[in-house]
Amino acid sequence: MTGTGQLLVCHGLTRQFGGVVALSELDLEVRRGELLGLIGPNGSGKTTFFNVLTGLFPPTRGQIVFDGARLAGATPQEVHRAGITRTFQRSRLCLELSIFDNLAIGAHQRLDHGLWFNLLRRDSLADQADTTAAAAQELLQIFDPPLARRLYEPMTGVAMIDRRRVEICRALMSHPRLLLLDEPSAGMTADETNRLMDDILEVRRRFGDLTIVLIEHEMSVIQRVTERCVVLNYGKKLCEGTFAEVAANPEVRRAYLGLT
Amino acid sequence: MTAARAGTRALSAAALAAVAGLLLYGFLATESEKTVGLMLLGAVIAVAGGIRSGVLPRLVAAAGAGAVLAGLGVAMVVLVGVFHDDPFVLLLMSRALLVLVACLGLHVQLADAGVPNFAGAAFFGIGGYTAAVLGRGDLPHPVVLLASGAVAAAVGSLLLLPLLRTRGHYAALITIAFGLLFRTFLEVNDTLGGPQGLKLAGLRVLGWSFNDDRQILGVDFSGYAFYCLAALALALLAVALVRRVERSWVGVALDAVRLDETASACFGISIGRWKIAAFTLGNALIGVAGGLSAMMVGFIAPNNFTFQESLVLVSILLLGGLGNLAGLAVAALIVIWLPEKLQPIQEFRYLLFSVLVVLVLVLRPTGLVRRTSRRPFGSVAA
């Protein structure tokens, strides 16, 4: 494992809410191009880790280094600009808006927001809208082809499962280098989960240098798609390794199954 | 084929404009309260029927929003011609148009960016007082009107710091406090006329005084006819501006900020930047409308810019349907014209507005006309 192999390095990451330590002295690294599974019981700090990483809750202590740049204490906007994008456990799409609008929000960083451009150069704006629509449709084609034909329909009419897909597409619209997926399969059947994971793997094949951290409860999914997992419990790292290594760890079995 | 389509467009727009123009004419021309009531009932039934049966939306779609806007503009110009020497009607039309412009400003703030502004009348007043002070000097009056908008926007920036740190009710309270302070400030400020207020010079563009009645081609025009045309031009410009803002990446960003600040932040959208942009643009629109309005009326005093007036502006937004420009225009007409036409209710206007707003919020929370989703602005989609 070389230094250039690490995309993200967290050191001693701690986040306290009053007396509650949601994340405690977490050392965690994500290697370039890998699909890392983040698992652990409810309340073990997985989502908190995403929230701290993306700047929503600045860490109480600790370092975050992303591709050589320090990100601890950065605003969510700065974290996004550095190349980290996420989805949310509870869908945070703008339901009033169309699928296209939601995906355009994902592409925000690449769009021209100048007043002059938007108000007066309407032809160039239309061109940029066309390019964005094409990119959006390309992504939707991977996840659910019928959705691509409904690009300008409001989000309210889109089924729950498709909303999750749109949310992942919105994150991908920004061309992230690190994609954080927070339980993308929540509420899906086993078949739907499998299809979603296939689609995610397909995206990773197409976007060469995409690194993914996946929070997931379904162990068969973790086993199938991740190269490495990190197990959290009570905000601390319990262990890490391949799924087989992790699954064999007695401490993990105790945390998950309550065995003593 | 394109010629045929252009023909359909023009015809649909003309039909819509003609119907709207006739309705407005009937409403403005009639003196009897009973007729006004009946007409209103008829209009409501006609519009509701038109929407239910799908005729109205289809007509609008066939014409395209731009053509409808142009058609309505022409209809208003015709109305100005018809009522050329009736100052009361012309004043009524101008006021509705200027209030519409102010509400467009509030619309950008509240309906687009989600920034509440319960000090609309105060910013309207800032525009008016700016016009009063600068209008006396040698500055060309179009520049004075622009300055009215700029000063309103600049004074509004005083509120930015607290507004960006709060949201919802708390942000609303800040604007309420500002509105109340503004009025008190005016009342104790002798340079600005104190409670007695200030007189204004009439609008003058390239030596043409808008206050003077004139004879054109043998027809007598009241000075208000020219103010009405100026207000119409301003309103059309403001509508075009707001529509362009909404159908662009700026509109998408404002919607994102309004609907989910957390997700927006995670996609690099600067919450502060867009709230500032919307608040400033909105106040500028309100300020310009206030400037022109003050010049038209010729006199302003603190009493014109009360908290109640701010509430009326916000209630127009809610009544019309937050986020819908067509609804906004209809609501502005109802709220501004109805009390003037139904004299007996004049005393109770605030009571009636309150009841009306409550009724709308209970029975039809989306307002008279629902918010529609953004029409695509790409060349392929359009």
- In this prediction the ipTM stands at 0.91
Neighboring chain B residues of A75 at a CB cutoff of 8 Å:
265
Within 13 Å of residue A67, how many CA atoms lie on the same side as its CB? 12
Classify A188 as helix, strand or coil: coil
Closest CB from A111, A122, A129 relative to B376: A129
Asked if B249 lies within 8 A of A170 by C-beta distance, the reply is: no
Neighboring chain B residues of A100 at a CB cutoff of 8 Å:
376
- Quick one: pLDDT at residue A2? 41
- Quick one: pLDDT at residue B118? 93
Minimal-distance CA residue of chain A relative to B270: A77
3-state secondary structure string across chain B: CHHHHHHHHHHHHHHHHHHHHHHHHHHHHCCCHHHHHHHHHHHHHHHHHHHHHCHHHHHHHHHCHHHHHHHHHHHHHHHHHHCCCCHHHHHHHHHHHHHHHHHHHHHHHHHHCCCCCCCHHHHHHHHHHHHHHHHCCCCCHHHHHHHHHHHHHHHHHHHHHHHHHCCCHHHHHHHHHHHHHHHHHHHHCCCCCHHHCEECCCCEECCEECCCCEEECCEEECHHHHHHHHHHHHHHHHHHHHHHHHCCHHHHHHHHHHHCHHHHHHCCCCHHHHHHHHHHHHHHHHHHHHHHHHHHHCEECHHHHCHHHHHHHHHHHHHHCCCCHHHHHHHHHHHHHHHHHCHHHHHHHHHHHHHHHHHHHHHCCCCCCCCCCCCCCCCCCC
Cα(A111)–Cα(A135) distance, integer angstroms: 13
- Quick one: pLDDT at residue B380? 60
To the nearest whole Å, the CA of A130 is away from the closest chain B CA by 5
Which regions of chain A are under pLDDT 70? 1-4, 257-260
Cα(B272)–Cα(B276) distance, integer angstroms: 6
Tens digit of each residue's pLDDT (9 = 90 or more) over A56-69: 999 999 999 999 89
Q: Is the pTM of this model over 0.80?
A: yes
Minimal-distance CA residue of chain A relative to B261: A92
- For chain A, what is the mean pLDDT? 88
To the nearest whole Å, the CA of B252 is away from the closest chain A CA by 6
- Quick one: pLDDT at residue B283? 95
To the nearest whole Å, the CA of B284 is away from the closest chain A CA by 15
Tens digit of each residue's pLDDT (9 = 90 or more) over B86-135: 888 899 999 999 999 999 999 999 999 999 999 999 999 999 999 999 98
Neighboring chain B residues of A130 at a CB cutoff of 8 Å:
378-381
- Quick one: pLDDT at residue A259? 61
Residue ranges of domains in chain A, CATH in brackets? 1-83+177-260 (3.40.50.300), 93-175 (no CATH)
Closest CB from A77, A88, A111 relative to B265: A77
Asked if B269 lies within 8 A of A77 by C-beta distance, the reply is: yes
Neighboring chain A residues of B270 at a CB cutoff of 8 Å:
77
Asked if B378 lies within 8 A of A94 by C-beta distance, the reply is: no
Which regions of chain B are under pLDDT 70? 1, 380-382
Considering only CA atoms, which of A47, A96, A48, A149 is closest in space to residue B257? A96
